[in-house]
Structure 1
Amino acid sequence: MATKTELGPIARERKYTQDKQVDEGLIPRKVPIVCSTRFGIALILHFCNFIMMAQNVIMSITMVAMVNSTSPQSQLNGSPEGLPVDSFGGLNKAPKSLPAKAPVYDWCPQIQGIIFGAASYGAILTMALGGYLAGRVGTKRVVGISLFANSFLTLCIPPAADFGIAFLIATRIAQGLCQGSMHGGQFAIWGKWGLPHEQNRLCSIALSGLLLGGFTAILISGFIIDTLGWPFVFYVFGGVGCVFCLTWFVVIYDDPVSHPWISASEKEYIISSLKQQVSSSKQPLPIKAMLRSLPIWSICLCSFSHQWLVNTLVVYIPTYISSVYHVNIRDNGLLSALPFIVAYITGVVGGYLADFLLTKNFRLITVRKLATILGSLPPSVLIVSLPYLSSSYITATAFLTLSCGLSTLCQSGIYVNALDIAPRHSSFLMGASRGFSGMAGVIVPTVSGILLSQENGWS
Structure 2
Amino acid sequence: MRRMIPKRWVLSIMGLFGGMNLASLRLNLSSAIVEMVTASPRGLVEKVHQNASEYHPEFSWNANQQGLALGSYFYGYAVSQVFAAWSGRKCGRARVIGIYSLTASILTMLIPVLLREHFGIFIAARLLIGALSGSYSPLMHGMWGVWSPVEERGKHVSLMSMGYNSAAALVLVVSGYLAEKYGWEYPFYCTGAVGFIWSVIWIFVIYESPKEHPGITEDEIKLIDASVGKEIDTNRERKVKWMDIFKSTRVWCVIIVSFLEHMPTYIIILLPTYVQSTFELGVKESSFLSCIPLIARALADFTLGWLVDWIISKGYRTSKVRKGVYFTGNILAAIALISLTQATGSVVATISCYSFQASTSAVTAAGFKASVIDMAPGFSGVVFAVSNTAGSLMGFITPQYAGILRVANIKDQVMGWDVLFLTGSVLYAVSAVCFMLFGPVDVEKWAKRRSDQGESGQSESTRLVTKN
Alignment TM-score, normalising by the size of structure 1:
0.79
Gaps of 5+ in 1: 1-31, 69-78, 85-92
* 3-state SS of 2:319 partner: helix
Q: Residues 376, 141 of structure 1: CA spacing in aligned structure 2 closer, same or farther, 3 A cutoff?
A: same
Instruction: Give the number of the structure whose residues are more often helix, by fraction.
Output: 2
Residue 41 (structure 1) shift: 0.7
Residue 262 (structure 1) shift: 2.2
Any conservation in 2 of the 1:117–1:446 contact (CA below 8 Å)? no
Any conservation in 1 of the 2:138–2:380 contact (CA below 8 Å)? no
Q: Deviations over 1:367-407 (max 9, x none)?
A: 22223234434334434554553442222222222222222
Please state if 1:107 is matched with 2:59: no
Moved more, 148-157 or 446-455: 446-455
Distance in 2 (alpha carbons) for counterparts of 1:310 and 1:361: 31
* 3-state SS of 1:389 partner: coil
Match of residue 42 from structure 2: 82
Q: 2:395 aligns with which of 421, 429, 441?
A: 441
Q: Which amino acid aligns with 1:206?
A: M
Q: How does 1:374-413 map to 2 (within 5 A)?
A: 374-383=328-337, 385-386=339-340, 388-413=342-367
Any conservation in 1 of the 2:8–2:148 contact (CA below 8 Å)? yes
Distance in 1 (alpha carbons) for counterparts of 2:333 and 2:37: 30
Any conservation in 2 of the 1:64–1:329 contact (CA below 8 Å)? no
Please state if 1:308 is matched with 2:263: yes
Q: Which amino acid aligns with 1:36?
A: P
Any conservation in 2 of the 1:343–1:405 contact (CA below 8 Å)? yes
Q: 1:47 aligns with which of 17, 20, 25?
A: 17
* 3-state SS of 2:41 partner: coil
Gaps of 5+ in 2: 418-468
Match of residue 249 from structure 1: 203
Match of residue 208 from structure 1: 162
User: How many positions carry a matched residue from both structures?
Assistant: 407
Q: How does 1:54-133 map to 2 (within 5 A)?
A: 54-68=24-38, 80-82=40-42, 100=55, 102-103=57-58, 105-108=60-63, 111-133=65-87
* 3-state SS of 1:199 partner: helix
Match of residue 7 from structure 2: 37
Q: Deviations over 1:301-355 (max 9, x none)?
A: 1111222233332x32334334444444444443222211111110111111111
Greater RCO, CA 8 A, separation 6+:
1
Q: 1:188 aligns with which of 125, 136, 142?
A: 142
Please state if 1:279 is matched with 2:234: yes
- Structure 1 runs of 4+ off > 6 angstroms? 93-98
Any conservation in 2 of the 1:134–1:186 contact (CA below 8 Å)? no
* 3-state SS of 1:198 partner: helix
Residue 444 (structure 1) shift: 2.5
Q: Residues 103, 268 of structure 1: CA spacing in aligned structure 2 closer, same or farther, 3 A cutoff?
A: same
Distance in 1 (alpha carbons) for counterparts of 2:326 and 2:119: 38
Q: 1:295 aligns with which of 238, 241, 250?
A: 250
Q: Percent identity?
A: 22
Q: Residues 266, 376 of structure 1: CA spacing in aligned structure 2 closer, same or farther, 3 A cutoff?
A: same
CA RMSD of aligned residues (A): 3.0
Q: Residues 167, 376 of structure 1: CA spacing in aligned structure 2 closer, same or farther, 3 A cutoff?
A: farther
* 3-state SS of 1:417 partner: helix
Please state if 1:170 is matched with 2:124: yes
Q: Residues 275, 310 of structure 1: CA spacing in aligned structure 2 closer, same or farther, 3 A cutoff?
A: same
